[in-house]
Amino acid sequence: MATHDEIEIEVLRYHPETDSEPSYRTYRVPFAHETSVLQGLQYIKDRLDGSLTFRWSCRMAICGSCGMMINGVPNLTCSAFLREYHPGKLRIEPLAHLPIERDLAVDQTDFLEKLASIQPYIIPAESKAVDEGPFTQTPAQRERFYQYSECINCLLCYAACPQYGLDSGFLGPAALALLHRYNSDSRDVGKADRMPIVNAQEGVWACTLVGYCSEVCPKGVDPASAVNRNKVISTLDYFFRFMAPRGASE
Amino acid sequence: MAVRRPYVRPMAGWWRRNPFYIFYMLREATSVFVALYALQLLYGLYTLAVGEAAFDAWLVSLRHPLFLVFHGVALAAALLHAFTWFNVAPKAMPVLYLGSHRVADRTLVWAQYLIFAVISVAILGVVLGG
Amino acid sequence: MQIVQTDVVIVGGGGAGLRAAIAVAEADPDLNVSLISKVVPMRSHTVAAEGGSAGVVQTEDSLDSHFYDTVAGGDWLCEQPVVDYFVANCTREMVQLEHWGCPWSRKDDGDINVRNFGGMSTARTWFAADKSGFHILHTLFQTSLKYASVHRFDEFFCLDLIVVDGRCQGIVAIEVATGEFFRFEARAVIFATGGAGRVYPCNTNAGISTGDGMGIAFRHGVALRDMEFVQYHPTALPGSGLLMTEGCRGEGGYLVNKDGYRYLQDYGLGPVDPSPRPKAMELGPRDKVSQAFWHEDRQGRTLETPLGTAVHLDLRHLGRAKLLERLPMICEMAETFLGIDPAEAPIPVRPAVHYTMGGIWTDGDTATNLPGLFAAGECSSVGIHGANRLGSNSLAEIVVFGKVAGEQAARAARAAPAIDARATTHEAEASMQSALALLGQDGDQRLADLRDTMQTAMENGVGIYRSAEGMQTACQTLEKVRNDYSRVRLDDKSRAFNTEWLTVIELGFTLDVARAMAYSALQRTESRGAHQRLDGYEKRDDEHFLKHSLAYAVADAPPRIDYEGVVITKLPPAERVYGGMARQEGH
Ligand SMILES: Cc1cc2nc3c(=O)[nH]c(=O)nc-3n(C[C@H](O)[C@H](O)[C@H](O)COP(=O)(O)OP(=O)(O)OC[C@H]3O[C@@H](n4cnc5c(N)ncnc54)[C@H](O)[C@@H]3O)c2cc1C
Ligand code: SF4
Ligand code: FES
């Protein structure tokens, strides 16, 4: 690493075995043009303080491990660069609105349970044997859901959503985006099964359209659009059930 | 035996933490002015039903500097309200296609301004012309 | 220590592990499956695969052709009956993924689209834009949530196998969040722990690709096969090693040296065509393309960049529209990491370590030579890659053999004898104590220094081109690192989420893998596929080395290297031919 400059990184630390609440520690880190924020943290861990705890893996913004708050903004640390913050300093905190497991690592279990609850898999009209070959799906049909399938589960959108912070019962942006992904897939007929989740109080109606989730999403998923399109869908669903109370939507 | 002890951070004052949130709160606050303006308009309608004198008194009261200020603020709030909702409207609409091309969110936002402008000019035409 | 009683333990939540879990659940829903992974499954390294996965679909294509490409690509070190099974099942598995929702890219009529890939004689690589591994992994993960018998243990670190009476009866794991030890008692265990790119300093792999499963199995006397064959991918970013998929060249990208010259024509890969010709030029196999870079570099025809020499991957002539449709992630990465728009400027690239062809020895049914232990995916050597893997064969491998492993483990679990609880407790206690000792030990060595020394030694001595002298030096350094390992001092002595502790355990595994690689390489006195020598052994030597190497652990000594014959059924060894003379599709 061709080193040019040094930058100050302030990190929020919390150890569940010894700390009653989190506190900040500051490190000085040398960096070059191409040094990512993640590499800055790795430098601290390798050279200054091996006890600093954070998650990372792919280094290429696709595994979704390394999301943190950089100066108050949710971001993937592997694709943000120290030079962007120089000569100022960085304050790195674990993703907001999620419980801190240790230091910069948050507890992801709530999201994983929510993901499981939306039936995130194809529910086909009738089972098709593998020998019958693939389903036909035109590029236009694929386009209808593809953007929502690009979610890397990084949870930046949860850190962006104050409604989730205030009430973690809310299903939240990414889970709803993935729900919408399956409902919009031409191979899937599971929408009726998923509508009760959309309609529930913890579903789309907990959203007040702050819109920050889509702003911070690193993959252009635009979860806010999935949530708010489903408000329209939920209203129609309610209306049709109201019109035909014994309707087939159960 | 080791146990997990996740730390949950407090949410107090959350909306001050990020300019995006402050703007969101501002957007929500605009609804107060829009509501007050509507009430005031309703009152005008009411005076119309009561009689000419009451209506004229209402018209005069509208010229009071305090009311002028209020109208200025309400107009600004309404414009901000419209601006923010125009921006998010594409997120609530089903995706539109022209042929096989998806209509971009940005195009939809501009289309709303266009419609807004056309209607405003039409109303202005009616008011000034009529 | 906590105890979990289960039927099948699967270590690894990547493509291979998830496919195996689903296969067990479908084979017998009454079997309890414990899926253990040190990261939440969708963070596994499969997520990073870009280009795509092989499976014969086009009418002019044939299984024989895929077979031929794979065996020739592997320089004849492939188990031919296993390759036969593999090519016959790839397409099935791709269709299965499609039924589960994988958003494969399509043709206009809604059919599956395929692209060209290096070393393949026709287009047969299924792709989902340039996020194929990402979509495969998320599809498998989300589908796995359907099966009630699959119990996930996310962020559990597998420390050791429990072997009693010559039979694998479970594993010991650490719950990352708490540092608590868990003993999993199981009647069958599948390792699907992925590759070991982290043996080298500059690699395309994720941080988790530390070869844990290989290291653990090796310590229990399981053979590591063909470890000297380490694939360098020719197009990674200098410094970081981040990958620019071979799909770039499959779509028609050029590799040019500092003079703007498509240099691969000088290395037997010509003729130069404007558009991609299978198996020629940029679509040559990875070993040859990476080796060509080495020669260009030696002759001073590469470009200087701040992070090392490079050649240019030129995509400009493909046009922005095609780049955004077929290679959106490449565009995004070039922009983020280099500030380059590939439609406007060429991308500097150089070879980086990418794939471990070798791994845990298994038979064609994924069984290792330790009863009760199965292995699948990149951690295994089932025999299809030989001395050089073809791009897009390994995503296919993880699902084809992941499924086999699941089915075989289910069968083994039903047939296995009862577990000897007292003996497993004893074994597990011993592994726990040695892990705790690492945590407590005092010394003067820093973890990062040992890691760096190991990686540099491997790059210098066991790189693209090798010589006895270089490899010997590497071996000596590795032995020294191994000695110093017992003097690593950790900053963090606590238990909860202690990633420093887990990293030092990983380094122990990686170091064993590195040693298996270096010693296997040293003893192979020929050049074949990814193992190229410069010291008088420049030729392939079928008479002595048409053999797999087998590395076995020896207590307090270098690994013992054995050899095993290659099963050849239909295609006798011949010269590998690429470029204009190569066999194309339909033979
Ligand atoms: C950048 C890149 C691009 C690639 N592109 C392609 C491509 O286009 N086509 C192709 O065919 N191949 C490609 N490959 C290769 C292919 O992606 C991998 O070989 C394949 O994904 C490996 O899958 P796996 O399931 O074996 O392992 P992985 O996906 O690596 O999963 C390993 C799993 O094991 C777990 N694990 C490991 N150790 C432990 C432990 N000690 N305790 C608990 N859990 C553990 C991990 O948590 C993880 O879940 C690419 C590879 C890279 C690096
Ligand atoms: S929607 Fe975007 S921000 Fe939210 S988890 Fe998915 S990729 Fe991350
Ligand atoms: S390390 Fe994988 S997303 Fe950053």
Question: In the predicted model, what is the mean pLDDT of residues B61-67?
Answer: 89
Catalytic residue status for C482:
no
Gap between the terminal Cα atoms of chain C: 59
How near does any CA of chain C get to the CA of B7, in Å? Answer: 13
Catalytic residue status for C135:
no
pLDDT surpasses 70 at A4 = no
- Is there a contact between C220 and C40 (Cβ–Cβ < 8 Å)? no
Put simply, whether C483 touches A (Cβ < 8 Å) is: no
Note the pLDDT tens digit of each residue in C428-448.
Answer: 999 999 999 999 999 999 999
Element (DSSP H or E) covering residue C11: strand C8-11
pLDDT of residue A249: 43
Question: In the predicted model, what is the mean pLDDT of residues A90-102?
Answer: 98
Please give the Cα distance from A207 to A32 (Å, whole number): 41
Q: Residue type at C544?
A: H
Domains and CATH numbers, chain C: 2-229+357-425 (3.50.50.60), 235-352 (3.90.700.10), 439-538 (1.20.58.100)
What percentage of chain C exceeds 90 in pLDDT?
95
pLDDT of residue C579: 86
Tokens of B48: 């119309």
Question: Which residue puts its alpha carbon closest to atom 1 of ligand 2?
Answer: A174
CATH of domain A109-240: 1.10.1060.10
- Is there a contact between C242 and C335 (Cβ–Cβ < 8 Å)? no
pLDDT surpasses 60 at B9 = yes
Q: Given pLDDT bands bounded at 50, 70 and 90, which one contains residue A247?
A: very low
How near does any CA of chain C get to the CA of B8, in Å? Answer: 16
Name the residue ranges covered by the structural domains of chain A. 5-106, 109-240
| Closest alpha carbon to C337 in A221, A59, A30 | A59
Other CB atoms within 10 Å distance of the CB of residue C437:
10
| Closest alpha carbon to A221 in C50, B86, C131, C43 | C131
Note the pLDDT tens digit of each residue in A188-226.
Answer: 999 999 999 999 999 999 999 999 999 999 999 999 999
pLDDT surpasses 70 at C155 = yes
Note the pLDDT tens digit of each residue in C163-196.
Answer: 999 999 999 999 999 999 999 999 999 999 999 9
Question: In the predicted model, what is the mean pLDDT of residues C572-579?
Answer: 92
Q: Which residues are within 8 A (CB) of A5 and not within 5 positions of it... i.e. 6 or more apart?
A: A30, A31, A86
Q: What would you report as the CA-atom Rg of chain C, rounded to the nearest whole angstrom?
A: 23
pLDDT surpasses 80 at A2 = no
Average the pLDDT over each of B48-52, C290-294, C454-458, C468-472 and give the range with the smallest value. B48-52
Q: Given pLDDT bands bounded at 50, 70 and 90, which one contains residue C369?
A: very high
pLDDT surpasses 70 at C584 = no
Q: Given pLDDT bands bounded at 50, 70 and 90, which one contains residue C510?
A: very high
Question: What average pLDDT does the structure give for chain A?
Answer: 94
Ligand 3 atom index nearest CA of A55: 1
| Closest alpha carbon to C421 in C151, C172, C164, C180 | C164
Tokens of A105: 């690592």
Q: Given pLDDT bands bounded at 50, 70 and 90, which one contains residue B88?
A: confident
Q: Chains touching chain C at 3 or more Cβ pairs under 8 angstroms?
A: A, B
pLDDT surpasses 50 at B92 = yes
Beta bridge partners of B73: none
pLDDT surpasses 60 at C513 = yes
Q: Residue type at B87?
A: N
Q: How far is the CA of C224 from the centre of ligand 2 (A)?
A: 39
Pocket flag, ligand 3, residue A66 (CB < 6 Å): yes
Please name the member of C134, C143, C498 whose beta carbon is closest to the beta carbon of A121.
C143
Note the pLDDT tens digit of each residue in C201-212.
Answer: 999 999 999 999
Pocket flag, ligand 3, residue A76 (CB < 6 Å): yes
Q: Given pLDDT bands bounded at 50, 70 and 90, which one contains residue B129?
A: confident
φ, ψ at C459 (rounded to 5°): -65, -45
With a threshold of 0.90, tell me whether the complex ipTM lies above it.
yes
Residue found by looking up tokens 């404007």 in the block: C274
Secondary structure (DSSP) of chain A: ----EEEEEEEEE--TTT-SS-EEEEEEEEE-TT-BHHHHHHHIIIII-TT-------SSS-S---EEEETTEEEEGGGSBGGGTTTS-EEEEPPTTS-EEETTEEP-HHHHHHHHHT--S---SS---GGG-PPP--HHHHHHHHGGGG-----HHHHH-HHHHH-TTS--HHHHHHHHHHHT-TT---HHHHHHHHHSTTTGGG-----HHHHH-TT---HHHHHHHHHHHHHHHHHHHHHSTT-TT-
pLDDT of residue B3: 75
pLDDT of residue A245: 60
pLDDT surpasses 60 at C70 = yes
- Is there a contact between A41 and A54 (Cβ–Cβ < 8 Å)? yes
Please give the Cα distance from C522 to C90 (Å, whole number): 35
Please indicate whether, in this complex, the C-beta atoms of B4 and C178 are within 8 angstroms of each other. Answer: yes
pLDDT surpasses 50 at A250 = no
Q: What is the pTM of this model?
A: 0.95
φ, ψ at C267 (rounded to 5°): -120, 35
pLDDT surpasses 80 at A1 = no
Q: Given pLDDT bands bounded at 50, 70 and 90, which one contains residue A98?
A: very high
Ligand 2 site, CB within 6 A = A 151-157, 173-174, 177, 217, 219, 221, 223
Please indicate whether, in this complex, the C-beta atoms of C495 and B2 are within 8 angstroms of each other. Answer: yes
Helix (H, G, I), strand (E, B) or coil at C172: strand
In chain C, which residues have their Cβ closer than 8 Å to the Cβ of A105?
Answer: 497
Q: Is the dihedral of CA C7, C11, C16, C18 positive or negative?
A: positive
| C-alpha to C-alpha distances, B83 to A136, B76, B79, B89, nearest whole angstrom | 42, 10, 6, 10
pLDDT surpasses 90 at C152 = yes
Element (DSSP H or E) covering residue B125: helix B105-129
- Exactly one of C135, C198, C249, C312 is catalytic; which is it? C249
Please name the member of B6, B20, B95 whose beta carbon is closest to the beta carbon of A99.
B6
Strands ordered across the beta sheet of C547-554:
C380-381, C359-361, C224-225, C547-554, C557-565
Question: In the predicted model, what is the mean pLDDT of residues B82-95?
Answer: 84
Q: Choose which CATH entry (3.40.50.2000, 3.30.1510.10, 2.160.10.10, 1.20.1300.10) describes domain B14-92.
A: 1.20.1300.10
Mutate to test the pocket of ligand 3, among A37, A66, A153, A155 (most ligand atoms within 8 A of CB): A66
Please give the Cα distance from C375 to C359 (Å, whole number): 9
Question: In the predicted model, what is the mean pLDDT of residues C66-74?
Answer: 97
pLDDT of residue B87: 84
How near does any CA of chain C get to the CA of B5, in Å? Answer: 9
Ligand 2 atom index nearest CA of A160: 3
Q: Given pLDDT bands bounded at 50, 70 and 90, which one contains residue B93?
A: confident
Put simply, whether B66 touches C (Cβ < 8 Å) is: no
- Exactly one of C115, C233, C524, C540 is catalytic; which is it? C233
pLDDT of residue B86: 87
pLDDT of residue A220: 95
Question: What average pLDDT does the structure give for chain C?
Answer: 96
pLDDT surpasses 50 at C335 = yes
In chain B, which residues have their Cβ closer than 8 Å to the Cβ of A95?
Answer: none
CATH of domain A5-106: 3.10.20.30
